[in-house]
Amino acid sequence: MVLLVKLFSIAIVVYGCLLILRPETLKKIFEFVKEKKNYYIACAAKAIAGIILMIAAPACSVPWVIMFFGALSLFGAILGFVIKRSLITGLFDWIEKQPTRFTYYAGTIALLVGVIIALAA
């Protein structure tokens, strides 16, 4: 299970680096997720990732960190299913209108979260 957590952390680090090096990737991801079917698939994937992190947390060296990010992911996925889709789409549109610097910050935060999860695993 720790290996699965480390794989998640590697995926998050790669995503963060991708956002920093190619900021237009975020807009492409949002355009893909805005489609109705893809939006719910993304929410389900986020929920599954959160559940896996929460199950794997006791086997990790710092379990509360993994449990925190797993619960955060699961909570975000549940909110994604509960909140109106038009509100989420509006949020995506607002983020797309932000300057490129905003995407750099988001990539940096994703990179840091991935490193924290990797160190806690």
Q: Does position 23 have pLDDT exceeding 90, yes or no?
A: no
pTM: 0.85
pLDDT of 86 higher than 80: yes
- Residue 61 sits at φ, ψ, to 5 deg, of -75, -30
Average pLDDT, the chain: 90
CA dist 74 and 43 (Å) reads 9
Which among 56, 32, 45 has a CA at the least distance from the CA of 80?
45
Q: Domain residue spans in the chain?
A: 2-120
Asked whether residue 49 carries a pLDDT value surpassing 80, the answer given is yes
pLDDT bucket at 1, cuts 50 / 70 / 90:
confident
Distances (CA, A) of 1 to 4, 28, 39, 58: 5, 31, 27, 9
